[in-house]
C-alpha cells in the first residue's frame, strides 16, 4: 500500500520538492527546500515514509517522479515521467479531489505515464510518456492568476509537454497555454479519440465474425469521449447498453436520440455493466477495472475502450499477465493505448503541421492506426493463440527499443522456456 500524506509532510518540514530518480538502474530519492539545493531525502524523511512510493516507482520502471508543494499558492503537483527514450515526456494534466487517497493519486500518475509511453511509441510519435496530476480542490478563485502562473512555471520546469485531461475546465488550459509553450491541444480531441475507439470496435466486430448491427455493445462512461462514441454506435449496433455515475450524462445522451434510437439503448446501473452478457465492452471512464479476481465474473466476448489503464496493473509485465488470463477466459482484450490513441494522434498531427493541419489527414491516420492495425493484430492473435496485447508489444513497442517492452517480454517468456526443475 502506498503511503498517504507525503504532501502534508512536505509542508510540515518546509520541503518544496521531492524526487525519485532512476540512474543507471540505481534509485535516488532527493528533496529540496524553497530556493535550496537538492539533498538526500533521508535528511528530511524517514526511510519507511519513502519506501512505499519507492517500491511503486521501481515496479513500473519509471525514470522520474516529482512531488511539488508551493507554499505561496498551496499547489500540490505530481509529475511522473515513465520514459524519455523516444523524446520528451508528454501526457495530459488531470486533477484529483483531495478526498481521493494520495496513494491512489500516485498510482494513477505512474500508470498513466506508462500508458503514454506505449501510446506514443505504438503510434510512431517521437515523444516519451509522462503525466502531470494536481491533487487539489481546483483552481482557487482568489489568487487565480498567481496559481496559474505558478502551475505554468512548474509545467515548464517539469521538462514535459502537457494538455487537457479530466478534472479541469477548458478555460484553465487556455489560460495555461498563454503562460507556457508546453501546454498544447487546448481544442478538444475527444471526437478524434471516439473515432479511434469506433474504428477499433469495428475491427473487433469483424474478428467476432458478425456485423456491428448484430452485436451488443456496452459503453461505460458518457463523458467527453464516451458520449460521442455512444452517439456514433447507437445507429450502428444491434443493442447499446450504457452507464454513468452521473445521471445527467445519461439524460444528455437520450435527449440527442430519436424514438427508434432510444429503443436500442439499455441503461444499466453503474458498476454492473461489466458483468452484463454482451459482445463488446467499451470502458470510457477511469481505469483499473479488470483485476484477476473480477475476470471469472466477466461475460463479454471482447474489451475495447477509450479509458486508460483498463487493466489494474502497475507495469507492462503485469498487463501482459492479465491479458493472458483474459484470453484463457475467452475474452479478447485490445490494448487501450492502441484503441484510445485517436486523440493523441490528432493532437500530435495538429502540433506538427501547425497552420497546414489537415483534419482529413489526421482522421485517415487515426483510422489506419486504430482500425487497420487492430485488425492485423487480431488476425495474428488468432493464428498464434497469443493475446493481442502481446502481439502489439512485440510488433509496435519492441521495434522502438523500449526497455519496458523488452523486460516485460523477457519475463513473459521465462515460464514458457523453463523446464521442470530449471531455476527461473
Could you list the active site residues? 131
> Which strands form 332-333's sheet, in the order they lie side by side?
265-267, 239-243, 216-220, 278-283, 300-303, 332-333
Give me the residue label for grid cell 532512476.
22
Beta bridge partners, 78, equal 67, 133
Burial class (CB in 10 A: 0-12, 13-18, 19+), 172: buried
State how far the alpha carbon of 282 is from the alpha carbons of 239, 306, 373, in Å.
13, 7, 18
Contacts of 21 (CB under 8 A, 6+ apart): 27, 28, 29, 30, 63, 64, 65
Task: Supply angle C-alpha 326, 328, 331, rounded to 5.
Answer: 45
Rounded Cα distance between 312 and 315, Å, is 9
Q: How far apart are the first and last CA of the chain?
A: 27
Rounded Cα distance between 262 and 284, Å, is 20
Rounded Cα distance between 409 and 250, Å, is 41
Contacts of 47 (CB under 8 A, 6+ apart): none
* 147's grid cell: 496559481
Q: What is the longest distance spanned by two Cα atoms in the chain?
A: 67
Q: How many helices (H) and strands (E) are present in the chain, helices listed first? A: 16, 14
Which three-class secondary structure state does DSSP give residue 11? helix
Q: Phi then psi for 57, rounded to 5 degrees?
A: -60, -50
* 269's grid cell: 446501473
Half-sphere exposure (CA, 13 Å, Cβ side) for 366? 29
The DSSP output letter for 274 is G
Question: Which H or E run contains 18?
Answer: strand 17-23
Amino acid at each position: 500500500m502506498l503511503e498517504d500524506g507525503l504532501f502534508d509532510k512536505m509542508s510540515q518540514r518546509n520541503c518544496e520538492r521531492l524526487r525519485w530518480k532512476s540512474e543507471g538502474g540505481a534509485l535516488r530519492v532527493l528533496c529540496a527546500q524553497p530556493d535550496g539545493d537538492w539533498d538526500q531525502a533521508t535528511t528530511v524523511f524517514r526511510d519507511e515514509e519513502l519506501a512505499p512510493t519507492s517500491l511503486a516507482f521501481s515496479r513500473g520502471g519509471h525514470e522520474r517522479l516529482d512531488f511539488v508543494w508551493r507554499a505561496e499558492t498551496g499547489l500540490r503537483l505530481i509529475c511522473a515521467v515513465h520514459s524519455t527514450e523516444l523524446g520528451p515526456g508528454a501526457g495530459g494534466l488531470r486533477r484529483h479531489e483531495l478526498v481521493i487517497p494520495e496513494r491512489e493519486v500516485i498510482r494513477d500518475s505512474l500508470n498513466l505515464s506508462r500508458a503514454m509511453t506505449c501510446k506514443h511509441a505504438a503510434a510512431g510519435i517521437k515523444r516519451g510518456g509522462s503525466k502531470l496530476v494536481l491533487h487539489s480542490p481546483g483552481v482557487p478563485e482568489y489568487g487565480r492568476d498567481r496559481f496559474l502562473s505558478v502551475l505554468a512555471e512548474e509545467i515548464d520546469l517539469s521538462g514535459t509537454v502537457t494538455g487537457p485531461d479530466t478534472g479541469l475546465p477548458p478555460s484553465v488550459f487556455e489560460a495555461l497555454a498563454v503562460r507556457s509553450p508546453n501546454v498544447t491541444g487546448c481544442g478538444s480531441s475527444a471526437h478524434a479519440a471516439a473515432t479511434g475507439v469506433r474504428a477499433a470496435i469495428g475491427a473487433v466486430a469483424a474478428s467476432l465474425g458478425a456485423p456491428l448491427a448484430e452485436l451488443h455493445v456496452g459503453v461505460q462512461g458518457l463523458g467527453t469521449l464516451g458520449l460521442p462514441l455512444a452517439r456514433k454506435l447507437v445507429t450502428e449496433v444491434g443493442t447499446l447498453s450504457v452507464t454513468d455515475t452521473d445521471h445527467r450524462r445519461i439524460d444528455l445522451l437520450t435527449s440527442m436520440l430519436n424514438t427508434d434510437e432510444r429503443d436500442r439503448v439499455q441503461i444499466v446501473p453503474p458498476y454492473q455493466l461489466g458483468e452484463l452478457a454482451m459482445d463488446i465492452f467499451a470502458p470510457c471512464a477511469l481505469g483499473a477495472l479488470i483485476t484477476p479476481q473480477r475476470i471469472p465474473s466477466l461475460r463479454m466476448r471482447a474489451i475495447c475502450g477509450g479509458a486508460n489503464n483498463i487493466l489494474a496493473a502497475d507495469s507492462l509485465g503485469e498487463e501482459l499477465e492479465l491479458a493472458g488470463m483474459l484470453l484463457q477466459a475467452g475474452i479478447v482484450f485490445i490494448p487501450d493505448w492502441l484503441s484510445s490513441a485517436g486523440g493523441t494522434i490528432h493532437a500530435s498531427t495538429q502540433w506538427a503541421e501547425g497552420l497546414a493541419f489537415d483534419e482529413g489527414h489526421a482522421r485517415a491516420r487515426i483510422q489506419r492506426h486504430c482500425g487497420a492495425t487492430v485488425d492485423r493484430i487480431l488476425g495474428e492473435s488468432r493464428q498464434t493463440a497469443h493475446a493481442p496485447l502481446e502481439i502489439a508489444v512485440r510488433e509496435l513497442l519492441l521495434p522502438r527499443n523500449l526497455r519496458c517492452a523488452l523486460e516485460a517480454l523477457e519475463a513473459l517468456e521465462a515460464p514458457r522456456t523453463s523446464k521442470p526443475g530449471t531455476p527461473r
